[in-house]
Structures are given as C-alpha cells and as structure tokens.
Amino acid sequence: MASLIHDGGKRWRVSIIDGTGRRRTLRLKASDSAARATHDHIEHLEQAAGTRHTPPPATARWLADLDDRWHAKLARLGLVEPRGSATLGGWLKTYLDEKRAELKPESLRKLEQTATKLLEHLGADKPLRSITPAQAAAWRAWLTSSGLSVASVKTHVGNCKSIFREAAHRGLVDKSPFERLKGGSTPSSVDRFITREEIESVIEACPTVEYRLLFGLARYAGLRCPSESHLLTWADVDFDEHLLHVKSPKTERHGQGHDSRTVPVEPRLMALIQEAYDLAPEGQERLIVGINGKGALRRRVEAIWTRAGVQPWDRLFQSLRSSCERDWAQHHPQVHVSRWIGHGMLISAKHYLNGDLPEAYARVTGVPNSTLKNHVPQVSQKRAQTGPETGCHGLSGATSTFSGNGDMAGNDRQLQLVSTNDTNVDKWSRGESNPRPVADE
C-alpha cells in the first residue's frame, strides 16, 4: 500500500512498491489536504492495478485531469497505461485477441466486422486519444450512408461502445467518444406469426422425416436451429415425461444454469419425435444428422413452401421460434415461457412478443378473428414477390417439383451437392436461425 511522508512545509513523498517489488517514490509540492487526496488516489490506482478493477469514479476523474508529465510518472510505476502509446489498430488487435476465447464464432465475426469498419474509416495508426466524439458521430453517419440497415449500424455502434469502454477502463482514453451514440440491439420489424395450420402444411410437404422433425422442433419447442436442434441426442428425449433436455451453446457463457434447459414436448411434436425414432437407423445418436449447409437448405425449403401452398416468411427458423413463444405466451405464465424458450423476460418483450395475435383481440372483444386480420401487423410481401435479382427466392423463384412419393424431383435432388457447407454446423448461415437466400449462379 502507498504511504505518505511529510518532508516539511509543502514538500511530500508518496512511497509505493512497484510490480517488481522495488520501492518507488513520487515527490510532490502541495498543501496538506491536496497531498492526502493525491495519496488516496494513488492508493486506489494501486489497488485497481492489482485486481484489474476500475478505480472509483473520483479517482478516474482525477486521473483524466492530470497533465501528461504526472500521468507519465504514474505509468512508469505501472499504475496506469501510458498516454498516447495506444493506436486504434493496436488496441483493436489486443481486444479481439482477448475475446477469441470467450465469444461464440458468430459474435466474434460481428466484432471483427466492426473493427474492420473502424480501421477503414479512421486508420490503424490513429491514436486512441485523438478520436473525438465528432469523429465517432461522423463514423456512424458514414455507416448509414454506406447502405447498412439501422439494426446493423446500431450493432456496430454497440460493439464500439464496448471496445472503448474497456479502453477507458484501462486508462487508454479518458472516456469513450462513442458513449453518447445510439447503439445496441434492435427489435425486429418482422412479426410474422406462423400458425399451426401453416406449419402443419409445411410439415406434410417435407420430403423426409428429418425435415418434418426440424420444422417441428423450431415451431413447437422453440429450439434454435442449428445450434440446439443439431445437438439433440435420443438420450435428451424423455419419452415417459414428454420432455426435451436442450443444450444451449449460445447462452452457456452466462454461467451455470444457462448451458441447458428443459422444454415440454406437446403431443404433436412427440409424434414427430416418435416417428423419427422409429425410422432412425441403428446406432444413430442424434435426432438431426442429414440437414446441413445453407445454400441447399434454403432452396429446398422454398420448394417445400411451394408444395405446401403457404406464403414464405422472412427469418426462416427465427420466425418459427418466435411463433412458438407467442403461442405459449397465450396460454402459460411468461416466467415459464421464457425459461422454456431459453432467454430472459426482457428479451422476450423486446424481440419476440412484439406483435399481436387476432386471438388475443378476439378474447377481449368477442369479435371473430377473421374480422380483425386487417388490424394486426403482417410481414411485408416484398421478399415473396421479388426474384433472384434481390438475392431472394420467393414463390415465383421456386421451380422445384415433387414426385408422387413425396420426394423432390428434378434439380432439387442435387441441391445437397451445391451446399457451401455440408458438415460443419458452426458455419451454417450468418445468424444461426436465419439461413440467407443464395442467388442462382
């Protein structure tokens, strides 16, 4: 711990033990109260350096107001990071290297995208301390002008706020220039509810038992696909109690109790699971083994939509998961629903329960559902009407046909050959539950 020594008059010494075990001394000329305050701040910095915690707010403000000469003295003692020594490129490399071990591949990929856009606009040699709030705002405006969606811009800004908040914590900057910018996650504007009638039509149109089960797991159990659905084994199915024990890679980083959950299995889903179990070859451990890759999957699903006669929906599996939660929320307490679906109630309110069902109005008003449909928000028809030039296959772009035995005919039999990733689930599409459309070559 630091000690304060009075040499007479206004002359003082602050003595500390540095990281190498050597006793080091700082000399200052100050009044009694100022000297004691300086000693207290140095002691707080010493404790923060030893425990890697943030110093108290008063000490952080005192440190930010220090001139460069005094700040350099504290840096030589190992109490703070040197000013002016960190560049944007160097700090981003350090930050990303530290995050690789704790972030999931998709989160790391988004963070790397943010770093790339920062470097592209500001330059790798830009000193961290020279980045101003005005430059941060200009960077955000540049992202917007480049054609990114509002959600993407807010995601990048949110990442920047985390990056520079950590830089401020380490004393590399006084405060984050991005702190006052609006960022973070954005509730989806897509609130399409996939009805039970629609999903049953889709299930009946599926070419294999695995496709039927995958759609059932997403719509009737709210599983994340593929990160949760493809990890399920037969040992995770409680056939007696009608329960699923679901492993959740996405939430396991939050600690014990978040790495798995138990989900109730309704009779319709239980029938799909039983069908898959009866037809599974001997020795197969996982429920889903033959559905991988994003290109072939999306094209095959579009053909299934065509055969089923249903309107395609955005966010392929995420919309099914959201519909499952909204369905459950009509009949069960939300505290249980959020636990079954695998996230907190605030996430449910912000991202999943952001649309109204006609049935909810009908129970209050007594008016039949059919007369309320025009008042309930529906998903945009744009993607269903556009063709390959927009990067999306709608009904007009799905040319697949089916044979009488339920198998796809024509080119769809070869679709698995064009998948960009036939085996690695981790690299399935950007946004794990939302395989993106792949344009025709």
Would you state the pLDDT for residue 64? Answer: 76
Would you state the pLDDT for residue 278? Answer: 95
Given a cut of 60, whether residue 197 has pLDDT beyond it is yes
Q: Give the residue from 288, 196, 195, 301 showing the smallest Cα distance to 246.
A: 288
Q: Give the residue from 72, 105, 2 showing the smallest Cα distance to 44.
A: 2
List pLDDT tens digits, range 72-110: 888 888 888 776 567 899 999 989 998 888 887 888 999
Both tokens assigned to 83: 């000013």
Give phi and psi for 309, each to the nearest 5.
75, 30
- CATH class belonging to 88-169: mainly alpha
Continuous segment of H or E residues that includes residue 90: helix 88-99
Q: Is the CB of residue 40 less than 8 Å from the CB of residue 32?
A: no
Average pLDDT over all residues of the chain? 78
Q: Model pTM?
A: 0.54
Q: Is the CB of residue 430 less than 8 Å from the CB of residue 316?
A: no
Q: Where in the chain is the domain with CATH 1.10.443.10?
A: 196-427
Q: Where in the chain is the domain with CATH 1.10.150?
A: 88-169
CA distances from 133 to 45, 150, 177, 302 (A): 27, 20, 4, 46
For the chain, percent of residues with pLDDT exceeding 90: 36
Give DSSP secondary structure letters for 361-425. Answer: HHHHH---GGGTGGGS----SHHHH--GGGT---GGG---EE-TTS-EEGGGGGGGGG-S-SS-G
Mean pLDDT across 345-372 = 60
Q: For residue 303, what are the contacts with CB-CB under 8 A and spacing of at least 6?
A: 398, 400, 401, 402, 408, 412
**What CATH number does domain 196-427 carry, 1.10.443.10, 3.50.50.60, 1.10.3210.10, 3.30.9.10?**
1.10.443.10
Given a cut of 70, whether residue 182 has pLDDT beyond it is yes
Say how far apart CA 314 and CA 190 lie, in whole Å: 7
Mean pLDDT across 293-298 = 72
**For 332, which DSSP code?**
S
Say how far apart CA 329 and CA 147 lie, in whole Å: 36
Give DSSP secondary structure letters for 150-161. Answer: HHHHHHHHHHHH
Would you state the pLDDT for residue 410? Answer: 39
Our CA dihedral for 362, 364, 367, 370, rounded to 10 degrees, sits at -20
Mean pLDDT across 6-12 = 90
Given a cut of 60, whether residue 397 has pLDDT beyond it is no
Q: For residue 199, what are the contacts with CB-CB under 8 A and spacing of at least 6?
A: 215, 216, 219, 220, 320, 323
Given a cut of 60, whether residue 373 has pLDDT beyond it is no
Strand ordering across the sheet containing 237-238:
237-238, 243-247, 260-264
**For 286, which DSSP code?**
B
Detail the DSSP E strand segments found in 298-352: none
Continuous segment of H or E residues that includes residue 99: helix 88-99
List pLDDT tens digits, range 215-226: 999 999 999 998
| Strand-strand pairing, 237-238 and 3-8 | unpaired
Compute the 3-state secondary structure of the chain and give helix, strand, coil in percent, each to the nearest 5: 50, 10, 40
Given a cut of 50, whether residue 27 has pLDDT beyond it is yes
Say how far apart CA 194 and CA 322 lie, in whole Å: 9
List pLDDT tens digits, range 403-413: 333 343 433 33
* Residue found under tokens 């997403």: 218
3 state SS of 28 = strand
Mean pLDDT across 225-254 = 89
Q: Is the CB of residue 182 less than 8 Å from the CB of residue 157?
A: yes
Given a cut of 50, whether residue 381 has pLDDT beyond it is no
| Strand-strand pairing, 243-247 and 260-264 | antiparallel
3 state SS of 127 = strand
